[in-house]
Structure 1
Amino acid sequence: MIVALLNQKGGVGKTTLALHLAGQWAREGRRVTLIDADPQGSALDWSQQRGREGLERLFGVVGLARDTLHREAPELACDADHVVIDGPPRVAGLMRSALLAADLVLIPVQPSPFDGWASAEMLALLGEARIYRPHLAARFVLNRCAARTVIARETADTLAENDPPALAQTIGQRVAFADAAQSGRLAFEVDPDSLAAREIAAFAAEVERIPR
Structure 2
Amino acid sequence: MVFTVGGIKGGSGKTTIATNLTVLLSKQGFDVLLVDADEQETSTDFTTWREENLQGEIGYTAIKLSGESVRSQILKLIPKYDHIVIDTGGRDTTSQRAAMTVSDVYLVPFNPRSFDLWTLNKVEKLVQEIRAVKANPLTAFAFLNRADPKGSDNNDAAELLKDSEVFTYLPTALVNRKAYSNAASQGLGVVELEVKDSKAIAEITTLFDSFKELISSEIE
Could you tell me which residue of structure 2 aligns to residue 72 of structure 1? 73
Name the amino acid aligned to 2:178.
Answer: V
- Provide the C-alpha distance between the structure 2 equivalents of 1:207 and 1:192, rounded to a whole number of angstroms: 24
Counterpart AA for 2:94: G
Once residues 65 and 203 of structure 1 are traced to their aligned partners in structure 2, the CA distance between those partners, rounded to angstroms, is: 28
Q: Report the identity percentage.
A: 28
**1:170 maps to 2:173:** yes
- TM-superposition CA deviations, 1:95-127 (whole Å, max 9, x none): 211111211101110111211112322222111
Task: Provide the secondary structure at the position in 2 that maps to 1:106.
Answer: strand
Task: Report what 1:96 is aligned to.
Answer: 97
Structure 1: stretches of 5+ with no match in the other structure = none
Partner SS, residue 147 of structure 2: coil
Partner Cα separation in structure 1 for residue 205 and residue 44 of structure 2: 23
Aligned to 1:151: 153
TM-score, L = length of structure 2: 0.90
Task: Tell me the equivalent position of 1:200.
Answer: 204
Matches within 5 A, 1:20-39: 20-39=20-39
Matched residue count: 212
Contact 1:25 1:204 in 2 (8 A): no
C-alpha separation between the residues in 2 aligned to 1:74 and 1:166?
Answer: 28
The alignment's C-alpha RMSD in Å is 1.6
Contact 1:142 1:166 in 2 (8 A): no
For the 8 Å contact 1:187–1:197, the answer to whether it is kept is yes
Give the secondary-structure state (helix, strand or coil) at the position aligned to 2:80. Answer: coil
Equivalent AA in structure 2 for residue 203 of structure 1: L
The secondary structure found in structure 2 opposite 1:129 is helix
Quote how far apart the aligned CAs of 1:175 are: 0.5
Normalised by the size of structure 1, how large is the TM-score?
0.93
What is the aligned partner in structure 2 of residue 113 from structure 1? 114
Partners of 1:24 and 1:200 within 8 A in 2: no
